[in-house]
Amino acid sequence: MAGEPRYRRILLKLSGEALGGSRDYGIDFAVVRDVVRQIKRVHELGVQVLLVIGGGNIFRGRDAAKGGLDRATGDYMGMLGTVINALALQDGLEKLGVAARTMTAIQMNQVAEPYIRRRAVRHLEKGRVVILAGGNGDPYFTTDTTAALRAVELECDVLMKATKVDGIYTADPVRDPSATKFRRLDYMEVLNRGIDVMDNTALTLCMDNGMPIVVFDLLKEGNLERVVLGDEIGTLVATPA
């Protein structure tokens, strides 16, 4: 596939669940290999790549709170889970010869660099993939909010939200075969329809700052490159055209 990338700097949000593949818990290394291969391809196009990784395959604070654990403690445990995932991605990228740096919002200097905005930009300019772990560093948030916040503050051109489905549909396409895919939605429509693509905090942050979101299926080989090259797969959530 040839062509000029549509975006100069992208932020890819990958859930922990996606990294878990078919496993109930932990990391599916076949998925890691697939994801890093795709990232390498867009990196080779000269695109600056940031990754925000979730931790749902390891720990979710809200679920643990239902079981009686203190919510904030559970959230910190969840944030630590994202660091485990980030290190797996970093390792996968390095094995392919792609320079990568993990930066964490919770300091753990023996493991990764602290997140410093200007340093993250410098890494990107030097051609390194930057993996952002530890969420925002605050409980009661999700890694979707981290993705929205970092995409805005690091002046990304787009937030790419990887999901299991290849976009936003009128209904769950697995349960309802007559469901159709939206090519484009504006933020308010997503909020008003209660579409569960990102939490509202993340979505409104994108809306307030005009950060476009592309919702797509990353696990289909070549999809990341297709989106980067401007192929209109998935659903674009943006300000009305």
Question: Contact residues for ligand UDP (CB under 6 A)?
Answer: 15-17, 54-56, 60-62, 74-75, 78-79, 81-82, 135-136, 138-139, 141-146
Nearer to ligand UDP, 138 or 186 (CB): 138
CA 81 – CA 86 distance, rounded (Å): 9
Compute how many other C-beta atoms are within 10 angstroms of the C-beta atom of residue 99: 14
Compute how many other C-beta atoms are within 10 angstroms of the C-beta atom of residue 212: 18
Q: Is 92 helix (H, G, I), strand (E, B) or coil?
A: helix
| Nearest to 236, CA basis, from 217, 212, 219 | 212
To ligand UDP, the closest distance from the beta carbon of 73 in angstroms equals 10
Report the residue closest to ligand UDP, judged by CB. Answer: 54
To ligand UDP, the closest distance from the beta carbon of 145 in angstroms equals 6
To ligand UDP, the closest distance from the beta carbon of 218 in angstroms equals 13
CA 235 – CA 123 distance, rounded (Å): 30
Residues in CB range of 63: below 8 A, 6 or more apart: 74
Nearer to ligand UDP, 200 or 239 (CB): 200
CA 107 – CA 99 distance, rounded (Å): 21
Tell me, rounded to whole angstroms, the distance of Cα 182 from its chain centroid: 20
To ligand UDP, the closest distance from the beta carbon of 62 in angstroms equals 6
Nearer to ligand UDP, 58 or 227 (CB): 58
CB distance 124 to 114 below 8 Å: no
To ligand UDP, the closest distance from the beta carbon of 164 in angstroms equals 12
Nearer to ligand UDP, 172 or 183 (CB): 172
Nearer to ligand UDP, 80 or 124 (CB): 80
Nearer to ligand UDP, 76 or 187 (CB): 76
To ligand UDP, the closest distance from the beta carbon of 205 in angstroms equals 12
Tokens read off for 17: 């669940």
To ligand UDP, the closest distance from the beta carbon of 2 in angstroms equals 33
Strands of the sheet with 158-162, listed across from one edge: 113-114, 100-104, 129-133, 48-53, 9-14, 158-162, 213-216, 235-238, 184-186
Nearer to ligand UDP, 20 or 212 (CB): 20
